Amino acid sequence: MKKTFMPTVQTRDELEALQLKGLQWTVNHAYNGSPVYKAKMDDSGVRPGDIRSLYDLDKLPFTTSKDLQNGYPFPLLSVPFEKVVRIHASSGTTGKRKVLCYTQKDIEDWTHFFARCYEMAQLTQEDRIQIAVGYGVWTAGAGFQLGCEAFGAMAIPAGPGNLDMQCEFLIDFQTTVMCCTASMGLLMAEEVNKRGIKDKINLKKMIFGSERSSDAMRKRIGDLLGIEHMFDIPGMTELYGPGTGLDCAYHTGIHYWADYYILEILDPETLKTVPEGETGEMVVTTLRKEAVPLIRYRTRDLTRLIPGECPCGSILPRHDRILGRSDDMIIFRAVNIYPGQIDHVLSGIDEIGSEFQIILDRKKDGKDYMTIKVERNEGVDKSQDSDLSKRISTQIKKEILVSGNVELLDYGSLPRSERKSKRVFDNRDND
Ligand code: ZN
DSSP string, 125-171: TT-EEEE-S--SSSHHHHHHHHHHHHHT-EEE---S--HHHHHHHHH
Distances from the Cα of 428 to the Cαs of 272, 359, 396, in angstroms? 32, 10, 21
Residue 412: which pLDDT band, with cuts at 50, 70 and 90? Answer: confident
99-103 and 128-131 as β-strands: parallel, antiparallel, unpaired? unpaired
Domain edge (last residue) among 304, 325, 346: 325
Say if CB 118 and CB 147 are below 8 A apart.
Answer: yes
Indicate whether 241 and 364 sit together in one domain: no
Q: What pLDDT does residue 210 have?
A: 66
Half-sphere exposure of 145 (CA within 13 A, CB side): 15
With residues binned 3-state (H G I as helix, E B as strand, rest as coil), the percentages for the chain, rounded to 5, are 35, 25, 40
Residue 184 DSSP SS3: helix
Contacts with 270 (C-beta within 8 Å, 6 or more apart), sequence order:
none
Please report, as a single letter, which amino acid is at residue 196.
G
Indicate whether 140 and 82 sit together in one domain: yes
Q: What pLDDT does residue 415 have?
A: 84
Indicate whether 246 and 348 sit together in one domain: no
For residue 7, the CA-to-ligand 1 centroid distance in Å is: 14
Residue 242: which pLDDT band, with cuts at 50, 70 and 90? Answer: very high
For residue 12, the CA-to-ligand 1 centroid distance in Å is: 15
For residue 316, the CA-to-ligand 1 centroid distance in Å is: 8
Please report, as a single letter, which amino acid is at residue 209.
G
128-131 and 177-180 as β-strands: parallel, antiparallel, unpaired? parallel
Indicate whether 238 and 311 sit together in one domain: yes
How far from each other are the two terminal CA atoms of the chain, in whole angstroms?
Answer: 65
For residue 328, the CA-to-ligand 1 centroid distance in Å is: 29
Indicate whether 226 and 245 sit together in one domain: yes
Distances from the Cα of 343 to the Cαs of 217, 225, 356, in angstroms? 10, 22, 8
Q: Worst-scoring range by mean pLDDT, 102-111, 194-203, 336-345, 387-396?
A: 336-345
Indicate whether 354 and 240 sit together in one domain: no
Whether the ω angle into residue 73 lies within 30 degrees of 0, i.e. cis, is yes
Specify the pTM. Answer: 0.82
Domain span at residue 413? 329-430
For residue 246, the CA-to-ligand 1 centroid distance in Å is: 9
Q: What does the alpha-carbon distance between residue 343 and residue 20 come to, in Å, rounded to a whole number? A: 38
Domain edge (last residue) among 325, 342, 360: 325
Identify the bridge partners of residue 172 per DSSP, sorted by sequence position. none
Q: What does the alpha-carbon distance between residue 58 and residue 334 come to, in Å, rounded to a whole number? A: 31
Indicate whether 197 and 283 sit together in one domain: yes
241-242 and 235-236 as β-strands: parallel, antiparallel, unpaired? antiparallel
pLDDT tens, position by position, 32-50 = 999 999 999 999 999 999 9
Indicate whether 21 and 139 sit together in one domain: yes
Domain edge (last residue) among 308, 325, 342: 325
Say if CB 283 and CB 299 are below 8 A apart.
Answer: yes
For residue 258, the CA-to-ligand 1 centroid distance in Å is: 14
CATH number of the domain within which 139 lies: 3.40.50.12780
Q: Which parts of 170-253 are beta strand (E)?
A: 177-180, 205-209, 229-233, 235-236, 241-242, 245-247
Q: Which parts of 22-137 are beta strand (E)?
A: 84-89, 99-103, 128-131
Indicate whether 6 and 114 sit together in one domain: yes
Indicate whether 191 and 224 sit together in one domain: yes
For residue 335, the CA-to-ligand 1 centroid distance in Å is: 34
Q: What pLDDT does residue 418 have?
A: 61
CATH number of the domain within which 423 lies: 3.30.300.30
Q: What pLDDT does residue 373 have?
A: 95
DSSP tag of 51: -
Of 257, 246, 209, 211, the closest CA to residue 121 belongs to 246
pLDDT tens, position by position, 305-351 = 999 999 999 999 999 988 777 777 787 887 778 787 888 888 888 88
For residue 254, the CA-to-ligand 1 centroid distance in Å is: 8
Structural element, H or E, at residue 385: helix 385-400
Across residues 251-260, what is the average pLDDT? Answer: 97
Domain count, the chain: 2
For residue 250, the CA-to-ligand 1 centroid distance in Å is: 6
For residue 229, the CA-to-ligand 1 centroid distance in Å is: 14
Q: What pLDDT does residue 1 have?
A: 61
For residue 422, the CA-to-ligand 1 centroid distance in Å is: 32
Indicate whether 101 and 27 sit together in one domain: yes
Q: Considering just the CA atoms, what is the radius of gyration of the chain in Å?
A: 22
Angle subtended at Cα 123 by Cα 120 and Cα 124, rounded to the nearest 5 degrees: 130
For residue 16, the CA-to-ligand 1 centroid distance in Å is: 19
Q: Which residue has the higher pLDDT, 30 or 413?
A: 30
Q: What does the alpha-carbon distance between residue 366 and residue 13 come to, in Å, rounded to a whole number? A: 57
Indicate whether 320 and 244 sit together in one domain: yes
